[in-house]
């Protein structure tokens, strides 16, 4: 016998009614009253069989709050466990080495850097393992802050680790630390996968003996044969590329060392409350003194001659410039310009009188280093590159960044590339070259940011990215827009980044509920960290049901 739609609905309703009988309330009465939430049974019925729009809204509100609340309760438990239950190292934070470093710098630390150093040293003083996120915009001076913290650990007789996500970045950080330390007597070593066996053995021996005081490395540091004499401080750069389990591995190599997580991509607040909710957050929201805002302009491909003319004038006045392309070799399919082909064009046809260099991802490490060193020494006027230069390159004399096919780049990528200029006291420029129709629409969006909200298909996304770049240099605003365009799952370029996938709640639009859930969870764990009171017994059993695996990783922040 066939069922009409009414009969089908009645059958579903009857089955649903039978299931609802066994549903138990999951939230304490105090929270239900505080937020004027409807009971769970009513919410489940109201979502499936709403009798009005208001009933549907109230039902969704209840389920969203619950989803956020249990997630935040798990994070609050983690934070409490780290701060209260685990023993750590109580460092003496008066450090001659750190003072020596600060006195040797050719610039003064910003107020934001000083504030953040105070936040970190306050954690380091306490015999509990620190778990802190350090975020700041491109060029805000996070590396100096990390080095000062590591020197405090070294002076206390401990070793420090600086972990980078790639070998190129590890090598760059290693060189930066050695250069910043100058004559300060600290033994810094590099440990990466591609090292010669003898050198690697030498580094491993130094770590085991304790003579290596700071080691910079990649995931190679996770390996079994890497043993530390006395690991006390860990800096993890670009956190989202390392999983929770990997962080647990590096932590186990010491006696609950302090951990400082650094990210070059500012994290939108909503994401930091979820992805990094178990970490204390320090933010450097100020650029070094003397830095001038970078002027960003959009130009059509037909306007290249005027761009070339501008770059030539800048070089003649003693400055240097970058030209960046999206890929390495010709792809007829995408009609993109290969860095190699365009390098030859720029060198032979456009700037025959200037000194050009080329750097791309297919080059070997020593080859890249040689080109970068020549650029730093001023022996190259224009560096033609692929996105290899996105992170960690610091040449204060470079004042122009020309990005070809700018519509092909992601927003965070564009912002990172722009951050390669504006590092000195001279006025700097970022020129985005794009197809005329993309650039024209992006210019209109830059004037009317509200219109950009609906720009979601691929073409519109490109326009919105360019419009945002022209409208602001603020990395935190850029991160918010990037999150809106791409959604939480793709924000870090990987679904495995630890971002929770909520079924009902949306971290972009339900921020008030997220804030309320976080505050409630923190208050409950502060009062009843073991969830032993009768009112909280259902919370404990629900947590165990939903987050069994996560609770086994409680000691990892």
* pLDDT (0 to 100) of residue 10: 73
List alpha helices for 253-303, DSSP H. 269-274
Q: With respect to residue 135, please indicate whether it lies within any of the assigned structural domains.
A: yes
Nearest one of 542, 546, 544, 550 to 28, comparing CA atoms: 542
Count of beta carbons in the 10 Å neighbourhood of residue 490: 15
356 shares its domain with 274: no
Report which of 396, 390, 393, 414 is spatially closest to residue 404, judged by C-alpha positions: 414
Confidence of residue 452 (pLDDT cuts 50, 70, 90): very low
Contact at 8 Å (CB) between 431 and 295? Answer: no
For residue 46, which of 60, 35, 67 has the smallest C-alpha distance? 60
Do 78 and 278 touch, CB atoms closer than 8 A? yes
CA distance 150 to 237: 14
**Any domain includes 481:** no
* Residues contacting 422, CB < 8 A, separation 6+: 139, 291, 292, 293, 294, 399, 428
Same domain as 274, residue 131: yes
Which helix (H) or strand (E) segment holds residue 135: the answer is: strand 131-136
Give 20's contacts (C-beta < 8 A, 6+ positions apart): 41, 44, 45
Domain total for the chain? 2
pLDDT of residue 57: 95
Please check whether residue 486 is in contact with residue 508, taking contact to mean a CB–CB distance below 8 angstroms: no
Q: Judge if 257 and 305 occupy the same domain.
A: no
Residue 89 has pLDDT above 70, yes or no: yes
Average pLDDT over residues 535-549: 78
Helices (H), 81-162: 96-104, 111-125, 142-155
Q: Mean of the pLDDT values across residues 12-38?
A: 86
Residue where one domain finishes, among candidates 418, 437, 472 = 472
In a domain, 505, yes or no: no
pLDDT of residue 332: 41
**Per residue in 414-435, is it b (16+ CB within 10 Å) or e — as a string?**
bbbbbbbbbbbebebbbbbbbe
pLDDT digits (tens, 9 = 90+) for 333-378: 443 456 678 899 999 999 999 999 998 777 777 788 788 889 989 9
Q: Does residue 101 register a pLDDT over 90?
A: yes
Q: What is the CATH number of the domain that holds 269?
A: 3.40.50.300
Q: Is 232's pLDDT higher than 50?
A: yes
Q: Are residues 389 and 266 both part of a single domain?
A: no
Structure tokens at 511: 């921020």
231-237 sheet: strands from edge to edge: 188-191, 214-217, 159-163, 231-237, 258-263, 131-136, 280-284
Boundary of a domain, candidates 409, 438, 472: 472
**Average pLDDT of 88-106?**
95
Residue 380 structural domain: 295-472
Identify the pLDDT of residue 314: 97
What is the band of 451 on the pLDDT scale with cuts at 50, 70, 90? very low
User: Which of 453, 472, 491 is the last residue in one of the domains?
Assistant: 472
Regarding pTM above 0.75, the answer is yes
User: Is residue 424 within 8 Å of residue 412, measured between CB atoms?
Assistant: no
- Residue 546, in any domain of the structure: no
Higher pLDDT, 475 or 268: 475
Residue 131, in any domain of the structure: yes
């Amino acid at each position: 016998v066939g069922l009409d739609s009414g009969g089908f609905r009645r059958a579903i309703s009857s089955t649903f009614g039978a299931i609802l009988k066994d549903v138990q309330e999951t939230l304490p009465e105090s929270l239900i009253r505080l937020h004027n939430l409807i009971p769970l049974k009513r919410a489940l019925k109201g979502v499936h069989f709403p009798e009005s729009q208001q009933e549907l809204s109230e039902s969704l509100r209840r389920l969203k709050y619950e989803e956020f609340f249990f997630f935040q309760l798990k994070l609050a438990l983690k934070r409490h466990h780290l701060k209260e239950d685990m023993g750590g190292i109580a460092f003496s934070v008066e450090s001659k080495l750190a003072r020596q470093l600060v006195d040797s710098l050719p610039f003064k630390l910003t107020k934001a850097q000083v504030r953040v150093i105070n936040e970190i040293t306050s954690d380091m003083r306490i015999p509990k393992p620190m778990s802190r996120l350090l975020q700041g915009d491109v060029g805000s001076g996070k590396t100096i802050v990390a080095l000062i913290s590591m020197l405090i650990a070294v002076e206390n007789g401990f070793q420090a680790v600086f972990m980078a996500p790639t070998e190129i970045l590890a090598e760059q950080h290693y060189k930066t630390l050695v250069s910043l330390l100058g004559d300060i007597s600290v033994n810094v070593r590099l440990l990466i996968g591609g090292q010669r066996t003898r050198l690697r053995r030498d580094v491993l021996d130094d770590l085991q003996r304790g003579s290596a005081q700071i080691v910079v490395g990649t995931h190679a540091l996770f390996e079994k044969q890497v043993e530390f004499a006395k690991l006390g401080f860990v800096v993890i750069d670009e956190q989202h590329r390392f999983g929770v389990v990997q962080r647990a591995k590096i932590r186990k190599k010491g006696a609950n060392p302090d951990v400082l997580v650094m990210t070059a991509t500012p994290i939108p607040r909503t994401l930091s409350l979820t992805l990094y909710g178990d970490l204390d957050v320090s933010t450097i929201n100020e650029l070094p003194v003397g830095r001038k805002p970078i002027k960003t302009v959009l130009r059509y491909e037909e306007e290249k001659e005027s761009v070339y003319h501008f770059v030539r004038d800048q070089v003649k006045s003693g400055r240097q410039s970058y030209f960046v392309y999206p890929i390495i070799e010709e792809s007829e399919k995408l009609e993109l310009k290969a860095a190699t082909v365009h390098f030859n064009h720029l060198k032979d046809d456009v700037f025959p009188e200037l000194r050009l260099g080329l750097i791309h991802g297919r080059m070997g490490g020593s080859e890249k280093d040689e080109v970068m060193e020549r650029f730093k020494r001023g022996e190259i006027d224009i560096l033609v590159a692929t996105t290899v230069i996105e992170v960690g390159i610091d040449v204060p004399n470079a004042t122009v960044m020309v990005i070809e096919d700018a519509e092909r780049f992601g927003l965070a990528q564009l912002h990172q590339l722009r951050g390669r200029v504006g590092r000195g006291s001279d006025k700097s420029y970022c020129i985005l070259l794009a197809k005329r129709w993309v650039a024209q629409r992006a210019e209109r969006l830059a004037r009317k940011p509200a219109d950009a909200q609906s720009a979601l298909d691929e073409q519109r996304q490109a326009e919105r990215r360019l419009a945002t770049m022209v409208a602001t240099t603020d990395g935190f605003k850029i991160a918010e827009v990037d999150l809106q365009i791409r959604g939480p799952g793709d924000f870090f370029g990987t679904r495995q980044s630890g971002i929770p996938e909520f079924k009902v709640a949306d971290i972009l639009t339900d921020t008030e509920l997220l804030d309320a859930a976080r505050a409630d969870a923190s208050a409950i764990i502060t009062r009843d960290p073991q969830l032993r009171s009768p009112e909280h017994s259902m919370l404990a059993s629900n947590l165990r049901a939903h987050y069994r695996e996560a609770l086994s990783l409680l000691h990892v922040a």
